[in-house]
Amino acid sequence: MTLPVLLALVVGGIAGIAAILHLMGLTTPYRFSNGHDAISAWEREVPERPATGFHLSSDSRASLVTFEGGVGIVWSFGGDTVARLLGDTPPQKTQNGLRFDFPDFGSSALKVRLKETDLDIWMKALEAQ
Amino acid sequence: MTDHLTYPDVVQLAVPFFIIAILVELVWIATKGRGGRYETRDAVTSLIMGAGNVTSGILLGFIAWGFFMVLWEITPLDLGTSWWIVLICFVLDDLRYYWVHRFGHRIRWVWASHVNHHSSQHYNLTTALRQTWTGTFTFMMVVRAPLILVGFHPAMVLFCGGLNLIYQFWIHTEAINRLPRWVEAIMNTPSHHRAHHGRNPRYLDCNYAGVLIIWDKLFGTFVPEQDDDKVDYGLVHNLGTFNPLRIAFHEWVGIYRDMTQRGLTVRERLMYAFAPPGWSHDGSRKSSDELKQAHLRRHPEDKGSAGFS
């Protein structure tokens, strides 16, 4: 197979499959249906630290999770969820909420949408840790 | 001695088949309402990783090829090119694959390359194409050296390796449940490989086979998929990015950061590179063995069951 043919197949294949998936509605991000859903997602990822509380974001795509001795965050990642423990580095305030930067190279920065009331709750929970 | 031997690049030739098979699986899932899940960014990321793998092969393939040709010059043995030699080569290369794959899960340096194949939380045919960009840097090509030294031509060895990879494509699916018992007993199947992709403690470090599952049974790493423990796909600590560069290099960056911490002994620095994933000098992380033990402390009823024996 010549390189131009291979290139066309690969680029066309990726673009075509992406378009079909998007048109099928498979780009819709996951949203937590309630706090128990968020806790379940947290404990799937971090089973050794059972959750003691949660605070959902305004768009239900992230949740702060408290556990004995610390705080973490679980968030919607495509059609799935990801969780991280939160360390000492505080998040940055943005126009729409908070931005979390994680020390591991395997996570991009996370922007969480929070209304004013939710932002206050999150900040208090983060400061309490 | 067979100097000029060529075989087709079967992986490149299979690209149209890969695309068609993905579309067929997608239609199957959409019409049946079962048999797996797709998500746009996850699938596109997997496909980009696959394209990057082909690109890295084109750019860096000369390193392994050069190494193999040096070995071919050295060896006085030449087994020829008859069909049964190709068959033996395929089986022995499958054994080679088993060990390289096992090293890929038990040596962090090799895991750094292989981890991206496990980084999707989905299990569909695009996951099969989520392949490494950095395989050359693991130096696992040395595991192929014995095959060439005993007289299998490098082109034949690579041809068999390509066939092996193509075989493994179709087993990355939830659309096929279980195959007839004799197939499940001998061959690597979707069921066996689903277990391999599990992040459940039970399924960590099992089913390394490429084509023949007999290697896992022989070397004690076989764990059958359990109906009462649904496979949870992905990594123990799942990635929070669809950025292909982060996916391809995150574990290498992790190794670098761990090895360059202050206050470590030389042994500890080397262990961060070559010990099993999850090793840490201060016990702050868990290896797969420790994760299994932690699971058993929470669920003692699982003790002695598959994957926990």
**Mind listing the pLDDT tens digit for each residue in A16-74?**
999 999 999 999 999 999 999 999 999 999 999 999 999 999 999 999 999 999 999 99
- Scan residues 147-206 of B and list those with Cβ closer than 8 Å to A: none
Q: Going residue by residue through chain B, which has 309 residues, state the pLDDT in tens, using 9 for 90 and above.
A: 666 788 988 998 999 999 999 999 999 999 999 999 999 999 999 999 999 999 999 999 999 999 999 999 999 999 999 999 999 999 999 999 999 999 999 999 999 999 999 999 999 999 999 999 999 999 999 999 999 999 999 999 999 999 999 999 999 999 999 999 999 999 999 999 999 999 999 999 999 999 999 999 999 999 999 999 999 999 999 999 999 999 999 999 999 999 999 999 999 999 999 999 999 999 999 999 999 999 999 999 999 999 998
Q: CA-CA distance, B166 to A65, in Å (whole number)? A: 43
CB nearest B240 (choices: A17, A24, A77): A77
**Residue A119 shares a structural domain with residue A85:** yes
Instruction: Output the average pLDDT for chain A.
Output: 95
Q: Residue A110: its chain B contacts at CB < 8 A?
A: 240
Flag if A105 and B47 touch (Cβ within 8 Å): no
State how far residue A77 is from chain B, nearest Cα, in angstroms. 7
Are residues A40 and A56 both part of a single domain? yes
Strands (E), chain A: 51-56, 62-67, 70-77, 80-85, 92-93, 97-100, 110-113
| Contacting residues for B123 by C-beta, under 8 A, at least 6 apart | B36, B172, B173, B174, B194, B197, B231, B233
Q: Provide the residue ranges of all domains of chain B, joining segments of one domain with +.
A: 7-309
Region for B107 from its dihedrals, namely left if φ exceeds 0, alpha if ψ lies in -120 to 50, beta otherwise: beta
Q: Is B121 on the interface with A (CB under 8 A)?
A: yes
Q: Number of folded domains in chain A? A: 2
Q: What is the pLDDT of residues A67-126, one digit of tens each?
A: 999 999 999 999 999 999 998 889 999 999 999 999 999 999 999 999 999 999 999 999
Residues on chain B touching A45 (C-beta within 8 angstroms): 237-238
Q: State whether A8 and A70 are in the same domain.
A: no
B43 touches chain A (CB under 8 A): yes
Q: How far are the Cα atoms of A48, A55, A124 from residue A64, in angstroms, in the given order? A: 17, 5, 11
Residue A1: closest CA among chain B residues belongs to which residue?
B13
Q: Report CB contact under 8 Å: B121, A104.
A: no
Residues 74-113 of chain B with CB under 8 A from chain A are none
CB contact under 8 Å between A78 and B250, yes or no, is no
Residue to test with chain B: of A9, A30, A99, A104, most B Cβ within 10 A: A104
Are A1 and A39 found together in one domain? Answer: no
The domain in which residue A3 lies consists of 1-28
- Say if the Cβ atoms of B42 and A27 lie within 8 Å: no
The reported pLDDT for the residue numbered A128 is 85
| Residue A76 and residue A56 share a domain | yes
CB contact under 8 A, B246 and A22: no
Nearest Cα residue in chain B from A80? B121
Whether residue A55 is found in the same domain as residue A83? yes
Q: Write down the pLDDT at residue A129.
A: 75
Minimum CA–CA partner of A24 in chain B: B30
Nearest CA in chain A to B247: A106
Interface test with B, best of A9, A26, A81 (most B CBs within 10 A): A26
Are A19 and A39 part of one and the same domain?
no
How confident is the model at residue B2, as a pLDDT?
Answer: 62
Domain check: are A97 and A52 in the same one?
Answer: yes
Alpha-carbon distance values, B95 to B28, B32, B82, B100, B215 (Å): 33, 37, 20, 9, 7
Same domain for A24 and A57? no
One domain for residues A13 and A53 = no
CA distance A19 to chain B (A): 9
With a cut of 0.90, is the ipTM above it?
Answer: yes
> Could you say which residues from 226 to 265 on chain B have a Cβ atom under 8 Å away from some Cβ of chain A?
232, 234, 237-243, 246-247, 249-251, 253-254
Contacts of B42 in chain A (CB under 8 A): 78-80
- To which H or E segment does residue A11 belong? helix A3-23
